[in-house]
Amino acid sequence: MLMFCQTCIHKNAGVSADEEITRTFLSTLSQHVTKLCRTTEGENALKTFLNLIKQALSPAGGGNLHCVALGCLLEIIASSPKSAIQSLIPDKEWIRHFLSSPRSDTHELAAQLMGLLCKSLSQDAVSALMSSFLENCTHPTMEVQHGAILALGYVGRHSLLYDLSKSNGKDPTRTLEEDTEELAAKRLRSTDCIMEALTKLVSFVSVDQPKLLSAAGCIAIGELAKVCPLPIANESDGDMSKLYIVERLLKYLQEVSDVRCKESASASLSMLPVGDITFPYTLKILEGLFKTAKLKHFELHISVGEAISSAACGPLSRAISDTWNTLPERVETRELLEAVTPNIKWTLKTLMGSDYATSGNPSIRQATCIWLVALLKFCGHHPIFKEYLSSLQIVFVNMLSDDDISQDVASRGFGLIYDLSSKEERKQIVSMLTSILTSGKKATIPVDAKVEIFPEGVLGKTPQKEGLTTYRELCSVASDMNQPDLIYKFLALANHHALWNSRKGAAFGFHHIASKAQDELKPYLDTLIPRIYRYQFDPHMGIQVAMKSIWSSVVPDDKRAVEKHIKPIMRDIMKNLCDNLWRNRESSCHALSDVFGTCQAADIVPYLPELWDLCLKVQDDIKETVRLAASVTCIMLSKVTIRVCDPSGPVPAPLVTKAMGELLPILLNKGVPSTADEVRGVSLLTILKITKNAGTLLKPHIPLLVPVLLESVSSLEPQVLNYLSLKLGEDSDTQEKLDNIRISAAKSSPVVEAINFCLPFTDGEVMEELIPHLVTVIKGGVGMATKVNSVMFAVSLSKLAPSALSPHVGKLMAAMLSGLGDRNGGVRKTYADAIGQLVKIAKLSSLQKLNEKLKTRFFEKPDPTSIATIGQVYYSMVMHSSDVLKSVLVDIVPLVFLAMHNRPDSEGGEGGSTDYQTAQKIWSDVWDELVTGTESAMKMYLGEIVSFLCPTLEVSSWSLKSQGAAAIATLADKAGSNLKPPHLSLVMNALKTGLSGRVWEGKESLLKATKKVSISCKAEIEESKDSTQPTIQEMAESVFKECRKRKATYRIIAFDALGTICETYEIDIFKDVHAMLTPIVNPDGKYGESSDDDGDVTDKEKLREERIKSASLKTDLLVASCTLLGQAWPKTTETQANFFDKVLSIVCKLAQKCTWKEQSAIMKTCEVIFKRAQNVCDLRENHLVEFISAIILCINNAKYTSVRMKALDALKAFTVYASHHKKHLLESLFTCELVGALNGLKNPREKEFAADVLSKKPSK
């Protein structure tokens, strides 16, 4: 409430803001209070306010309230006429107790009040007060002491003023030296109390005293000294003299560490020459103040600067505080000016010398800069400064390359120099300053190795001339306007350092200078605003804050100013967006962002194309801070562009169409293809938003828009997915799952959504231009997402506009064939499915070409992956376009029939069984969907299938040969009797030709096919009269040749095929077979020993596995050999007579030392031999014994039933043979061992067989 009342009084009195800041409002306030005191109503109002203050000063109020109340009371008393004080405050004693309150700031206010109230007291009353305060200085309580010390200063000052006024009448003006000495002599006789007070106060000026009391002592001495010369001698043998006080204060100034105490000491020292124009120790005081230059404290240097100004200029200094109008009036007489001139000259020369202004210590230069500005501000009215303005300007220019504080203070110095100069002088100093700032030259400063050049924390920045940057820019702006003298106005307005907001900085401010500069800049605003506007966003904080200060001073309304000057502002921004200096590029970006937030979108439309071109370049800038600024700008630019290109927005339709026509090409050609992620991202985002709202306006841009968007889809996919896909390549199941996830995500991308917005507007006219670009993307697109979505877009077009797309389907399908070889399974599958769907609207010629290309691809790349992919194409055709395929079934069925016989086993080449199984399943599904039944398809397309399969046995690819042979085997099995000449001749010739030559991987299929044809087409082969058809004897001979190959696994299958042919057609080639098999089945050979060379194999486990595998393979070969002996056993008597004994002897001996599998095969062979044996066959006694031993061995095999059964079958066949041809052998057959073995059988079926055999036993 008190502050509100105080504000109301100030407003009514007309106190200005400058007067509030500088505390010079007493004159204005006094006039108002005097008017109030003249009227009863006004006096009553003042009394009411005073009563409110008294209530606030009651003990119930706190310390803060007491301070506010005392401050209000102090203003009222100071501004009231002397005659009214008595009526306003009749009782003054109640104020004294605030001198001992707990708060120190309350003490000072109370002391000042006591000093003002002394106006109405007599000299005796004042002396009595002084005595009481002297007594309180020895009080044990510090608060009481503090209040008493301050009161001594303020009350003692008024006591001295009283004596001065009594001596000189109403005009207390100090003039000549003679008068001053006479006045001092008079006062020495009547100021014993002052002397005692000085002695007491000086005793407190010591570092041994509490800081509160010592600072108060300094303040009190200064208050006494600034009124008039102290009533003491200059020098004295005693303790009290002017020299003693100076030395005591200087010592205290150097020793005390507290800044406030130093400020109090420096202020006290400066007051000694103010009150005494002939003070003999002024230079000593100045030298002592200069010693504080090394200290690093801004506010202290401001205080010391004021002190230096007061000490050098004496009573003419404007730094002397006289808020309450308590000092005598100063008149600038010639005598006073001449008296202070030497001190000012000495001060200026000293500060501009090498020890200070050009010192190697930055702290000293900073302090010097502050002190020189203080001298200009407070003493610049002295004529002597005219001589030093140029020198001072050079000093300040050198300071511009120092730290921020020195730069700011120096900038104020320029403004003061300019104001103090005449018109002619201004031209010279403007030229000098412009030259120095533009060239960056400055005086060389010697550096002492012991001096700290950069304060802690500054290293890491760029110190070389960077301090000149702000001022060089300001100078550039002024020069461009052909008004170089404006540099001083800019410097005056650019008060940008935060320290100027501090208490001392505000008191040291330049508000009147800024106001004057503002008025002088108004004529140049049209040229100035564009530059200043951009410089507000300069990355250099000094430039930025300086320009903002200038802008706020010269532009009252930001928005209106920007809208009014939008054209020059935009020209300046666009000119500097790609400037060589990164600072200009960065500031232009920030400025452009601000323009977007200030102006309407319609105002920026003409500049959008060029802005996009420039901003996209800057967003890929080499400097990171520029890129970050450009990113923010591009986001803002994107929002503006989206608003402009929205047909439903406020922008007129013709302007929208024009904007889209200009902006989309830039974004698509320069933004989206960019390698910079930020550029590509903002461009895509903008395009997506535009396409969402554009509607029919998109149509002219679709041929350019869709391909670019398709190519950009992959850029949105996280790179980690590509990494995972690469790492998981060996795991097909996981790879497939990952591919499905990626494809699903790609189809739901925002970019795909934007592409889909274009589909309704894609007609025949658009496709003419779009399809070539789409074909390019389909063939050369990079990234899974791009490839998938490009073909899906084509499929979508085939559904939405089939008639318009039909002429172009051939090109699209041809392009999609390139994707069938992609390394990614998901891409291959998508391309295959798309081709199958496009076939529906393709021309017959395009379909035929496609089928031929797929056939060619099938034979050129017979790997399982490629075959499976081609199968996917046909499967998609069958599922989506089955009606269209009817016209080309004759070409497709043979291929599908061949492809479905892909080898699923691991025998067949690279790729592994899994890939072959996948391919076989796909083609089997195609076959099942393509034909109604295999047998009916065989009948309908038999000729085409045979003509297609036979050439496959002659191709160079082993897998295709094997595949063709397997297909022929199936054909023979399913067609059966339908496979007749000439088709049978073609098949048999192809098989015979294929069997010739060396063994290759998968050749076993040819043997199986030959066997299957021989069985399934026996009647047709026997009845055939085709001369071109190989005979069965020739086929057997071809197979026999294959039986002689070295590969064991191959021989096993060849033995089976040969045996089947010989048995089926009763071909007698036993002689050759016996010769071939004897080395294998000969029991005298090294059977069971490994013939393989173990080489360097050292791994025992591996060696063991190889031996097991070798033993198993030998067993299988032996079984096949024994089986072949039985199958090839002829019915011709001659051959039987020659080999009967030999074969039985070999196999029976072999049975004694082989495994159960071999024993089973041997017994089967024996059975066949005995069943086919004729009368010419005679079994010797020793061979019969061998046979009986073999039978007994097999019957006694308790583990394997099959061996026992085969032995019983062989025994039964022998008894039948002996009964018909050699009955005498029966008598030798049933030995005790054999009978015992037969009787030992327990299986019912075996016992039945044994009984049947035993029934043949002849009776004795």
Q: What tokens were used for 122?
A: 């007599």
How confident is the model over 1230-1257, as pLDDT tens digits?
A: 777 777 777 878 888 887 877 877 777 7
- Residue 444: pLDDT band (50, 70, 90) is very low
pLDDT of residue 549 exceeding 80: no
> For residues 337 and 488, which has the higher predicted lDDT (pLDDT)?
337
Whether the pLDDT of residue 173 is over 70: the answer is no
Residue 1251 structure tokens? 């009984």
Q: Examine the pLDDT at 692 and tell me if it is beyond 50.
A: yes
> CA 1189, 1193, 1196: angle at the middle one, nearest 5?
135
Pick the more confident residue, 468 or 745: 745
**CB crowding 700-725: b at 16 or more within 10 Å, else e:** bbbbbbbbbbbbbbbbbbeeebeebb
Q: For residue 148, is pLDDT > 50?
A: yes
- Torsion on CA atoms 913, 919, 922, 927, rounded to nearest 10: -110
Token pair, residue 1231, equals: 């030995």
Residue 184 has pLDDT above 60, yes or no: no
Neighbours of 251 (CB within 10 A): 15
Task: Please name which of 316, 284, 220 lies closest in space to residue 230, comparing C-alpha atoms.
Answer: 220
User: What does the chain come to in residues?
Assistant: 1260
Q: What is the mean pLDDT of residues 667-687?
A: 81
- The whole-angstrom distance between residue 1088's C-alpha and the CA centroid of its chain comes to 70
Lowest mean pLDDT among 297-306, 402-411, 788-797, 1085-1094: 1085-1094
The reported pLDDT for the residue numbered 456 is: 43
Nearest 5 degrees, angle CA 1197-CA 1200-CA 1201? 100
Given a contact cutoff of 8 angstroms between Cβ atoms, the answer to whether 223 and 267 are in contact is no
Cα 785 from Cα 1221, distance rounded (Å): 83
Q: What is the mean pLDDT of residues 1112-1119?
A: 86
Report the amino acid identity of residue 108: E
Residue closest to 707 by CA, chosen among 758, 744, 657: 758
What's phi and psi for 628, nearest 5 deg? Answer: -65, -45
- For 1133, the 3-state DSSP assignment is helix
14-23, 395-404, 745-754: least confidently modelled range:
14-23
> How far is Cα 1165 from Cα 1126, in angstroms, rounded to an integer?
4
Selection from 237, 548, 502, 492 nearest residue 373 by Cα = 492
Lowest mean pLDDT among 411-420, 524-533, 596-605: 524-533
What is d(CA 1053, CA 999) in angstroms, rounded to the nearest whole number? 12
Cα–Cα distance measured from residue 387 to residue 681, given in angstroms and rounded to the nearest whole number: 64
Confidence of residue 1102 (pLDDT cuts 50, 70, 90): low
Please say if the pLDDT value at position 785 is more than 60: yes
Query: What confidence score (pLDDT) does residue 458 get?
Result: 38
Helix axes 1156-1172, 1100-1127, angle to 10 degrees: 10
Considering all CA atoms of the chain, what is the largest pairwise distance in Å, rounded to the nearest integer?
186
Identify which has the larger pLDDT, 724 or 324.
724
Share of the chain above pLDDT 70, in %: 81
Q: Which of 258-272, 693-707, 908-922, 1144-1158 has the lowest mean pLDDT?
A: 908-922
What residues contact residue 214 under an 8 Å CB cut-off, 6+ apart?
Answer: 204, 205, 206, 207, 252, 256, 261, 264
**∠655-658-662 over CA atoms, to 5°?**
135
| pLDDT at residue 143 greater than cutoff 80 | yes
Nearest Cα to 1212, choosing from 1176, 1259, 1178, 1246? Answer: 1246
How far apart, in whole angstroms, are the C-alpha atoms of residue 1031 and residue 303?
A: 128
CA distance 1248 to 1209: 12
pTM value > 0.75: no
Sign of CA dihedral 983, 989, 995, 1000: negative
* Tokens encoding 83: 């005659």
Instruction: Give the model confidence (pLDDT) of 1178-1220 as tens digits.
Output: 677 777 778 788 888 888 887 888 888 888 888 888 888 777 7
pLDDT for 460 beyond 50? no
pLDDT 10s digits, 16-62: 766 665 566 667 777 777 777 778 777 788 788 787 877 777 777 77
Query: How far is Cα 147 from Cα 70, in angstroms, rounded to an integer?
Result: 14
The amino acid occupying position 542 is: G
Q: Distances in Å between the alpha carbon of 231 and those of 127, 202, 247, 278, 893? A: 16, 14, 17, 13, 132
From residue 545, give the alpha-carbon distance in Å to each of 148, 368, 519, 1210.
47, 24, 20, 115
* Number of separate helices (H) and strands (E) present in the chain: 67, 0
What is the rounded average pLDDT of the residues 127-143?
A: 85
Rounded to an integer, what distance in angstroms lies between the CA atom of residue 549 and that of residue 543?
Answer: 10
CA 123 from centroid of its chain's CA atoms: 81
Give every CB contact of residue 923 below 8 A, 6+ residues apart in sequence: 867, 871, 874, 896, 899, 900, 902
CB atoms under 10 Å from CB of 190, counted, come to 14
Highest average pLDDT, of 126-130, 296-300, 418-422, 693-697, comes from 296-300
What are φ and ψ of residue 801, in 5° steps? -140, 65
Distance (Å, whole) CA 5 – CA 18: 20
Confidence check: pLDDT of 908 > 60: no
C-alpha 385/C-alpha 396 separation (Å) is 15
Residue 759 confidence (pLDDT) above 70: yes
473 vs 834, residue with greater confidence: 834
* Amino acid 1190: pLDDT: 84
Q: What is the pLDDT of residue 346?
A: 92
DSSP code at position 237: S
Among 497-506, 803-812, 941-950, the range scoring the smallest mean pLDDT is 497-506
In the block, residue with structure tokens 């018109």: 423
The 3-state DSSP composition of the chain as helix, strand, coil percent (nearest 5) reads 75, 0, 25
DSSP codes, 310-342: HHHHGGG-TTS--TT--SPPP---HHHHHHHHH
Residue 227 CB-half CA count within 13 A: 26
pLDDT of residue 1090: 38
d(CA 682, CA 640): 13
